[in-house]
């Protein structure tokens, strides 16, 4: 498995995120929507009728959501390619399956990345074992998905990821900002190589030109963080949601080994 298999393929999904998830009128959404109600912009082919204009129409939240490929897995594997429109009796179970599968796929995203890091060679056997356990959980039938103990499984995954992080960051002795409140922090051109930024709040932080190589960004909140010219070429545990929620430009350097990440259209100078 590589991370390209964990990239959302909306064309193979039954618009699950547009139906299963709830949202409230806010800066991210212009209207309220209850879980289980189709978005008013979901078309007959399970596509979004305003996809090209989501931000200008007020649906910023949609542009940063990433299911890690859970949507197509639930649609094509768990439910065998039969949509909730074709068989309405499956809708409740199908919509309930999405958030469970998304969490499993997110864990797979991190485990696959961890196994790719040469610094983590000593942990490859354990990473492979836990990754296989996670894969097997994704194959659980719909009726039993609710029985999966996600917190318990996460307790197996998290220590491994922390060990990988420590191995990758060890040569650089970067600062420890784990869980730090760095909202609006002035970190322009900061030397953060090897930093532990796991779970940190970097909302609207100025990270322009910052050196973020080999830093741990797992769970870091990068909403509206400025990444213009920042170097993230080999940072750890970066996701598409984090990239899409931040603000960057054509000179932002994303992980070179992570072809799955896409430069958001709203970034300055993005193709």
Residue 239, token pair as written in the block? 């996701």
* Extents of the domains making up the chain: 3-169, 174-271
Cβ–Cβ under 8 Å, residues 221 and 246: no
Residue 182, token pair as written in the block? 């760095």
pLDDT at 207 over 70: yes
Class of domain 174-271: mainly beta
Mark 17-36 as b/e (b = at least 16 C-beta within 10 Å).
bbbbbebeeeebbeeebeee
pLDDT at 261 over 90: no
Measured CA distances, 78 to 20, 138, 145 (Å): 15, 8, 10
Residue 69, token pair as written in the block? 């490929």
* C-alpha–C-alpha distance, residues 48 and 222, integer Å: 26
DSSP letter at 212? -
pLDDT tens digits, 155-193: 999 999 999 999 999 999 899 999 999 999 999 999 999
Please tell me the predicted confidence (pLDDT) of residue 242. Answer: 96
Residue among 267, 260, 224, 246 nearest 3 (CA): 260
* C-alpha–C-alpha distance, residues 119 and 223, integer Å: 29
* C-alpha–C-alpha distance, residues 16 and 190, integer Å: 40
Cβ–Cβ under 8 Å, residues 217 and 242: yes
Residue 109, token pair as written in the block? 């995203």
Residue among 11, 8, 3 nearest 237 (CA): 3
pLDDT tens digits, 95-148: 999 999 999 999 999 999 999 999 999 999 999 999 999 999 999 999 999 999
**Exposed, middle or buried, 218 (CB in 10 Å: 0-12/13-18/19+)?**
buried
């Amino acid at each position: 498995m590589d991370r390209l298999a964990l990239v959302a393929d909306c064309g193979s999904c039954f618009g699950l995120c547009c139906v299963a998830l709830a949202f409230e009128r806010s800066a991210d959404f212009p209207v309220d929507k209850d879980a289980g109600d189709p978005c008013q912009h979901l078309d007959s082919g399970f596509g979004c009728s305003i996809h090209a204009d989501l931000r200008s129409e007020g649906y910023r939240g949609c542009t940063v959501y990433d299911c890690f490929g859970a949507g197509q897995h639930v649609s094509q594997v768990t439910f065998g390619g039969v949509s909730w429109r074709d068989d309405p009796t499956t809708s409740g179970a199908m919509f309930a399956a999405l958030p469970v599968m998304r969490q499993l796929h997110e864990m797979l995203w991190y485990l696959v990345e961890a196994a790719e890091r040469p610094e983590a060679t000593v942990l490859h056997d354990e990473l492979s074992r836990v990754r296989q356990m996670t894969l097997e959980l994704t194959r659980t039938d719909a009726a039993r998905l609710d029985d999966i103990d996600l917190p318990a499984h996460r307790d197996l995954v998290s220590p491994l990821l922390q060990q990988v992080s420590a191995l990758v960051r060890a040569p650089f002795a970067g600062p420890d900002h784990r869980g730090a409140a760095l909202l609006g922090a002035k970190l322009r051109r900061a030397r953060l190589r090897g930093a532990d930024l796991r779970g940190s709040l970097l909302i609207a932080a100025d990270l322009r030109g910052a050196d973020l190589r080999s830093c741990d960004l797992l769970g870091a909140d990068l909403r509206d963080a400025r990444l213009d010219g920042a170097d993230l070429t080999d940072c750890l545990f970066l996701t598409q949601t984090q990239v899409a929620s931040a603000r960057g430009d054509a000179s932002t350097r994303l992980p070179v080994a992570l072809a799955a990440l896409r430069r958001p259209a709203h970034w300055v100078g993005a193709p």
